[in-house]
Chain A
Amino acid sequence: MTTASDLHLLRHVPGNSPVHRMWAGTKLLAVGGIGIAVVAEPTWIAQGIAAVPLVLALLEARVPLTAVPRPPLWFWYLIAFAGFLALTAGGKPEVHTPAITLGFGGLIDWLRFSTLTVIVLGYAIVLGWTTHLADLGPALTRLFGPLRIVRVPVDEVVAAVTLCVRCLPLLIDEMRTLYAVRQLRHPQVPATLKEEIQNLHDLLVGALVSALRRAREMADAIEARGGVGPAPRLPVRWGGPDYIALAMTAAAVGLIVLLSFT
């Protein structure tokens, strides 16, 4: 059975490829820029443009195929069910037969938004595979730096983001423990919808209480150390791969924006 911990979300794959060596800020700019552009203009052509840098980054990162997340079977059933529901919505283009008229408009929209999700998630996954989590904080501090002029609390925002990212493995570990407790103390498989809802309720309440407790402890620890403090401002080391990636990002975003005006 696939568990949350088997999905390896945002987990770094050691390597020395150009994508690994890039500054984390370059990758964040690429993911943010292309991600926002393609979500704002989710046409097939825009998705094709967005997919090009993603495929090149995947090839260049040389991450083994075994790193690709393997969602559980029920996830695929759910996606297929959503596709079936979209098909029942109908819409143009339509195929007419003597017995029925079948509209594929809904199904095509479902397909378009499914591929959009894959592209956006693909960018996030490549970022996770090739970037140490510890590099994200300093990179965000640099990128958000200009916002200090308009009094945005950059240090606090960066601290919040990095704490969220760092807490993800803890949260996964606690969910694993909660699930194990539930299995041991109530090993019977839920037989009815009511039992299933009760099961989910038990897990969610446990997870919430645990997350709140963890957040309180972390807040106490931050207070004890004198508050958030300024995030480290490490020097930015630009290299050839960074310039190429930024040029490709600018080209992709520019093309998508142009497309939206035509």
Chain B
Amino acid sequence: MLVLDHVGHVYSAGTPWAHRALADVNLQLPDRSRVIVVGPNGSGKSTLAWILAGLLKPSEGTITLDGEELSIAEGHTAMAFQHARLQLLRPTVRADVRFGLDLDDGAVDSALNDVALDPARFRERRIDELSGGEQRRVALAGVLVRHPRVLVLDEPLAGLDAPSRESLVQVLGRLPADLTSVVVTHDTEDAERIADRALLLGTGHIVADGPVAQVLTAAVTP
């Protein structure tokens, strides 16, 4: 279980630009949770995503995974960023999925199948020949192949055309069952297909936490 205990974060603490992004966030995410995080701009969604992925140490409170302090060195967490091209660190799809791991082609093909990309068509393709949606799925394959326990996705659907969006929603809807997924997004159209639970953030606090439909209703009610 992933537990956030009184987590808060202040950027540039102790400088004239100090800015509080999160305050007193208490959260428990049991294994296999499928959570969506929504909220207006500046509500702390991205900061929460970075903290959940272990990339940012909160300036207040603690974050633990099964009672141990969360550390990216353990490889239990992964994050897919909105800007997919920045996550692709090798020239071809196969080389990128294998990046940092000792994998055979079977494992690469399996990862590509997980994100609905035909291995025969895509394995040898160059990264810069792919569309934005395909790049996003290759980045996701590179993340899934590491078998993380917690996967955080920051705005995975932003800027995609309708067919690419539908493909990615389908991929997100059938992520591995043993994975805890947290999707940070403004796009709530298909929220119930990718999550069971929703968190609504407002000015750094959790304003609502519960079933997706209930929280999204609260989000649009003034």
A interface residues with partner B (beta carbon < 8 Å): 6, 8, 11, 13-14, 63-64, 66-67, 174, 177-178, 180-188, 202, 205-206, 209-210, 213
Across the interface, do B15 and A185 meet the contact criterion of CB distance under 8 Å? no
Across the interface, do A11 and B86 meet the contact criterion of CB distance under 8 Å? no
Residue from the list B72, B77, B79, B86 in contact with A174, Cβ < 8 A: B86
Across the interface, do A177 and B15 meet the contact criterion of CB distance under 8 Å? no
State the CA gap A206–B88 with chains docked (Å): 8
State the CA gap A110–B86 with chains docked (Å): 39
State the CA gap A4–B89 with chains docked (Å): 21
Across the interface, do B17 and A210 meet the contact criterion of CB distance under 8 Å? no
State the CA gap A202–B91 with chains docked (Å): 10
Q: List 28 A-B contacts (CB under 8 A).
A: A6-B12, A8-B12, A8-B15, A8-B17, A11-B17, A13-B16, A14-B16, A63-B16, A66-B16, A67-B15, A67-B16, A177-B83, A180-B50, A180-B81, A181-B89, A183-B72, A184-B72, A184-B77, A184-B79, A184-B143, A185-B87, A185-B99, A186-B99, A187-B72, A187-B74, A206-B88, A209-B85, A213-B85
B179 at the binding interface (Cβ < 8 Å): no
Residue from the list A14, A66, A182 in contact with B89, Cβ < 8 A: A182
Among B49-77, those with CB < 8 Å from A are 50, 53, 55, 72-75, 77
8 smallest CB-CB distances across A and B, nearest first, come from: A186-B100, A181-B87, A13-B16, A202-B89, A66-B15, A180-B55, A67-B16, A177-B86
State the CA gap A180–B89 with chains docked (Å): 12
Instruction: Bin the interface of chain B by size.
Output: 20 to 34
Chain A contacts for B15, CB-based, 8 A = 8, 66-67
Chain A contacts for B87, CB-based, 8 A = 181, 185
Known: A11-B17, A174-B83, A177-B86. A184 touches B53 (CB 8 A): yes
Among B1-45, those with CB < 8 Å from A are 12, 14-17
Which residue of chain B has its CB nearest to the CB of A202?
B89
Can you add 16 more A-B contacts, CB < 8 Å, to A67-B17, A206-B86?
A: A66-B16, A177-B83, A180-B55, A181-B81, A181-B87, A183-B72, A184-B78, A185-B87, A185-B89, A185-B142, A185-B143, A185-B146, A186-B99, A205-B89, A206-B89, A210-B85
State the CA gap A76–B18 with chains docked (Å): 25
Across the interface, do A180 and B16 meet the contact criterion of CB distance under 8 Å? no
Which residue of chain B has its CB nearest to the CB of A66?
B15
Chain A contacts for B50, CB-based, 8 A = 180
What's the nearest-Cβ distance from chain B to residue A220, in Å?
15
State the CA gap A205–B95 with chains docked (Å): 15
State the CA gap A180–B78 with chains docked (Å): 10
Across the interface, do B16 and A178 meet the contact criterion of CB distance under 8 Å? no
Chain A contacts for B83, CB-based, 8 A = 174, 177, 210
Which residue of chain B has its CB nearest to the CB of A183?
B72
Which residue of chain A has its CB nearest to the CB of B53?
A184
**What 0/1 pattern do residues 127 to 141 of B give for CB contact below 8 A with A?**
010000000000000
